[in-house]
Amino acid sequence: MHKQIHFLFILCCIFLFSACEKEKQYYEESGTVFHTLYHIKYEAPQLLTEKIDAEFQKFNLSLNPFNPNSIIAKVNNNEPVEVDEWFKEVFNKSMEVSHHSEGVFDITCAPLINVWGFGFSKKDSVTPTMIDSLKAFVGYQKVRLEGNKVVKEDERLLLNCSAIAKGYSCDIIARLLEKEGVENYMIDIGGEVVMKGVNQNGMCWRIGINLPEDDSTNTKNKYDEIIQLCKKGAIATSGNYRNFYIKDGKKYAHTIDPRTGYPSEQNILSATIVAEECITADAYATAFMAMGLEKAKQMADSLPEEIEYYIIYSDENGKHQIVYSEGMLPFLPKRKTIETK
């Protein structure tokens, strides 16, 4: 009798536990954040909208330079402020990438970008004197962290993390999802992506690399290649093929070299990086654009952390060519052999 009661009690507990445990399903979140679009898919027992929004708001108060109440805005305005751990992580990674890229990646170069104008709209009014005056307070060596304080050599120096912050925000949301026990997810914020596990069809996540096309309308989205990740990883792409100039019949990307203050005449049209974290992929994708093909490949081979690359560039005849790292091949289901460039 006692055994029967004990058995029934166990069955009731199992039933109650099963009833309380919600079945997991795939959810989708989308919207606008940091002046860009985001799209998130994840498998969970319930929606995590409020927690995701809370992380976005926290991030907004840390690294959004357009929010006057953010930490980075206060740093730029020389207001007394202590930075948080997110700001520190982005700042330190930026300094690391600046070092490895020999200053091609630089979060202090916003004044130079602004003076040239989007699409070099102000190029006729830019003078050497103007560039020299701006370079006096541009340079990653002119700013540092001391504890929780940012120290500038010149108060006019400005920080802009737009070339790295979107990628880092993907990492932040990924950390949140994993803390909530989510094992399958895809996070896309402004084209920077973090993936883990499988999609709702049980397949590895895939994302396309756009084919470089002359497109001032920003609406053409033909894919040149598909990247597939089955384990956790991050993908970031920088491309200037919708914003370029032509010199001697050859296309060049619209990228400013902060070391010179002038447009960098490099032939890379699109650089896609795969790395463990999106903060890394985002920063190096930007650095590749201004470094040029050979220097970018050399840097990638010399890095202490592993990154893989897929580069679309313009050859001496203005035709599109492709080169990718050997380690990139497993992520390219369409490619069967490695091209050697």
- Which of 153, 218, 165 lies closest to 190, judged by CA? 165
Indicate whether 251 pLDDT > 60. no
Give the mean model confidence (pLDDT) for residues 121-127. Answer: 74
Report pTM.
0.86
Comparing 242 with 237, the larger pLDDT belongs to: 237
Please indicate whether residue 212 or residue 128 has the higher confidence score (pLDDT).
Answer: 128
> What's the confidence (pLDDT) of residue 341?
42
Output 335 or 234, whichever has higher pLDDT: 234
Q: Which residues pair with 238 in a beta bridge?
A: 271
Q: Which residues lie below 8 Å from residue 229, measured CB to CB, with a gap of 6+?
A: 195, 204, 205, 206, 235, 274, 331
**Average pLDDT of span 205-227:** 68
- What pLDDT shows up at residue 126? 85
Distance between terminal CA atoms of the chain? 79
User: Cα–Cα distance between 37 and 51 in angstroms, integer?
Assistant: 18
Phi, psi of 332 (to 5 degrees): -115, 90
Phi first, then psi: what are they for 238, rounded to 5°?
-115, 135
State the pLDDT at residue 20.
46
Two tokens, residue 48: 């995590």
Q: In the prediction, which pLDDT does 122 show?
A: 65
Please check the confidence at residue 72 and state whether its pLDDT lies above 90: yes
pLDDT, mean of residues 127-146:
94
76-115 pLDDT per residue, tens? 999 999 999 999 999 999 999 999 999 999 999 989 988 8
Percent of the chain at pLDDT exceeding 90: 64
pLDDT (tens digit, 9 = 90+) per residue, 197-214? 999 999 999 999 876 655
DSSP strand pairing (149-152 vs 244-247): unpaired
With cut-offs at 50, 70 and 90, classify the pLDDT of residue 133.
very high
The pLDDT assigned to 84 comes to 98
Q: Would residue 8 be called left, alpha or beta, if left means φ above 0 and alpha means ψ between -120 and 50 degrees?
A: alpha
Task: Look over the chain and give the mean of its residue pLDDT values, rounded to a whole number.
Answer: 86
| 142-185 residue pLDDT tens | 999 999 999 999 999 999 998 999 999 999 999 999 999 999 99
**In sequence order, which residues have a C-beta less than 8 Å from that of residue 282 and are 6 or more positions away?**
163, 164, 166, 167, 168, 192, 236, 273
pLDDT at 245 over 60: no
* CA distances (Å), origin 20, targets 13, 15, 43, 50, 180: 11, 9, 18, 21, 17
> Is the model more confident about 286 or about 265?
286
In this prediction, residue 110 carries a pLDDT of 86
